[in-house]
Amino acid sequence: MSLALAKNTEEDLWTILEQMSLRDKIGQLRQVDGSGGRADQSLLGAIREGRVGSVINVVDPVLVNELQQIALEESPCGIPLVFARDVIHGFKTIFPIPLGQAATWNTDLAKEAARLAASEAYAAGIRWTFAPMIDVSRDPRWGRIAESFGEDPLLNAVFGRAMIEGFQGEDLAALGSIAACAKHFVGYGDSESGIDYSSTNVSEFELRNVHLEPFREAVAAGVASVMSSLSDVDGIPATAHRELIRGVLRDEWGFAGLVVSDWDSVKQLTVHGITADDREAAYQAAEARIDIEMTSDAYENHLEDLVSAGEIGVDTIDAMVMSVLTLKKNIGLFDVPYTPKDYKLGVSESAATDCAHRQASESFVLLKNDNAVLPIDRKEIDSICLVGPMADQPQEQLGTWVFDGDSGLSVTPLKAFQDTLHKDCEVVFERGLETTRSSCGELAEVAVEKASCCDVVLAIIGEEAILSGEAHCRANINLPGDQVEFVRRLKATGKTVIVIILSGRPLTIGNILPHADAVLFALHPGTMTGPAICDLIFGHTSPSGKLPFTLPKSVGQIPIYYSKKNGGRPATHDSIMSIDDIPAGAEQTSFGMTAFHLDDGFEPLFPFGFGLSYANFEYSDLTILSNELTQGGKLKVSVRVGNIGLKDAYEVVQLYVRDRVGSITRPVRELKAFEKILIPAGQVRDVRFSLSRADFSFYRRCREYGVEPGAFDLWVGGSSLADLHVAFEIDA
């Protein structure tokens, strides 16, 4: 008889637990890959025997219900399975990659997109996703930067919260809600050399003040689960890091949810060299309180023996199983274990594509717009030429880690321009390069010839989706192939050339800027890439995206990020010297004796938070309205932002602070607040921010969090180079 009959209280779960055998309990801690589907008889047998608690990668709702029926009616305890899937930036409808969502600086859109993705995934039987990824990522060589929200802890925290709230909804047990998972705990974004699965050597202060902050926010947001990192953290693999998982996550922050390993990472502890064999790997992971082992079988093969030998207590196993049962209870599996056959009626394709369109439009960052060539007045052109390997690629524009996306829903740039312009303007298309990695050849010659006969040229280039994402790291982040040479040839025709870059990561694009009249940069914008580009090119919307990362001049500048430390000899424009300025036979000298590269200086190509608009914004009247931080109140700040341009547009108003003196060295600037506002042409808006003591708190030399009194600087503006400044003091 089934033990699991609509159990909804903690007491009910303990009743179930008390009636389970040790083998039954260990089965709940095992997640298996169900990609084999019906043909995998071993999966069916394992479910019947109660040796499976969750299944990943089954997305057929009919099969989901068949497997669920076996678990409920034929397994020893009748405990429902939870079906999981990576729903990273959409399910059927694909939104911009997370890095692109961060470029919108619009958390409301991120929450809406996650909600719609959850609804589509739920219809396929999915109740748990492994997103959001909130690793602070400062190395664009790392393929998984695509899944992050960029280089800043605050952006990762607020976008992580938005996606968690979108996935989980107001009621995690409601139809259309799925459990979120904050990953990868912790420091994964700091992998050495930008290589996936590599070591992360992160100091205690950097770990606390940078990498842990988004996870602390995720816990505060009520995230249902957390995934451990594949990497080690200062020599201890995260999957076995008791001090971080038990110590910080559970004991210090009070996280009561479920912790899952990454794919096969328990058995990989032996590859790391932290354990001698799978038995010891199972021991260390369980002691760290990894509740579920994803896809590998160290728990299944060794936990029972470890308990029998007295090396792991039954109380530890029970705590792990309770985490699993509690997740299943919280997502409503004991009440609604099956996927409703008619749930697909609750998924609105039009609502999803509308949100994808809006989010894609807001994700584009305008980096260059010489002589205001954009937007283009449709009445002033008779022909437009679309060229480039990304101009008509419905799958590639979706970006990385898309397993269930329907490329048939994709509207490519070519399709969007053809639909928009009809007979008003001739749309000429020639790919020019077969892929983003191709060399110039006959296709390029044909494209250049066609471009020379048109009024305006749109070169849509970048990276294919496969060039970024997990295990797709690059040592050279230039535009691949002959794309720069291709654009150079297009510009040599004398035509206006608009370059649109679709990428999965920041790229070193300084070599293409001289050959473009305007440059729009976007992070694989998803299903509605084409309509978003069309809107921006013709001025139906103004670009409002801002960089969630720093764009380097060259790979040699990496890591480069805005919130750096000063060091003892910070560079200034007066202190640096170019390698070309050094005379032959020069005597040995330290030149300006400051921190810079001889061949690239100290400034990036484009700073964090940067993005142009079709409008012009003017900042003034930065005022501290009140400073009551010592009384537990707020620091209230006001700034006036005027649109002195001719077009209505959104602006992202950004607030940065600096703690001038600390018990440990502090960043030169830290983003503390931002607001995206619509300002009509010719109008002014007063923007107010309210900061608490927590906004100035950090992990200090005394190994405690807190605010240190003293002098602070505050800037407000349209990027991390904001120069509107005011100083203030915080007393003890």
Q: Which residues are catalytic?
A: 262
* Residue 660 to residue 711: CA distance in whole angstroms: 6
* Residue 353 to residue 504: CA distance in whole angstroms: 21
**E strand or H helix at 311:** none
* Residue 624 to residue 165: CA distance in whole angstroms: 32
* Residue 643 to residue 252: CA distance in whole angstroms: 46
- How many other C-beta atoms can be found within 10 angstroms of the C-beta atom of residue 488? 17
Collapsed DSSP state (helix, strand, coil) of residue 457: strand
* Residue 306 to residue 311: CA distance in whole angstroms: 5
The strand pairing partners of 637, in sequence order, are: 624, 689
The closest alpha carbon to 535, from 351, 362, 352, belongs to 362
User: Are 97 and 399 in contact, with CB atoms under 8 Å apart?
Assistant: yes
The strand pairing partners of 496, in sequence order, are: 456
* Residue 294 to residue 438: CA distance in whole angstroms: 38
CA dihedral 529, 534, 540, 542 (to 10 degrees): 60
**How far is CA 295 from each of CA 83, 109, 267, 268, 646, rounded to the nearest angstrom?**
13, 33, 10, 12, 57
Which residue type is seen at 14? W
The strand pairing partners of 487, in sequence order, are: none
**E strand or H helix at 593:** none
Within 8 A by CB and 6+ apart from 689, the residues are: 636, 637, 638, 639, 655, 672, 673, 675, 716
Render the burial of 603-630: b for 16+ CB within 10 Å, e for the rest: bbbbbbbbbbbbbebebeebeeeebebe
**How far is CA 552 from each of CA 461, 549, 560, 601, 606, rounded to the nearest angstrom?**
19, 9, 7, 11, 7
- How many other C-beta atoms can be found within 10 angstroms of the C-beta atom of residue 66? 15
- DSSP code per residue over 106-175: -HHHHHHHHHHHHHHHHHTT--EE---B------TTSGGGGGS--S-HHHHHHHHHHHHHHHH-S-TTST
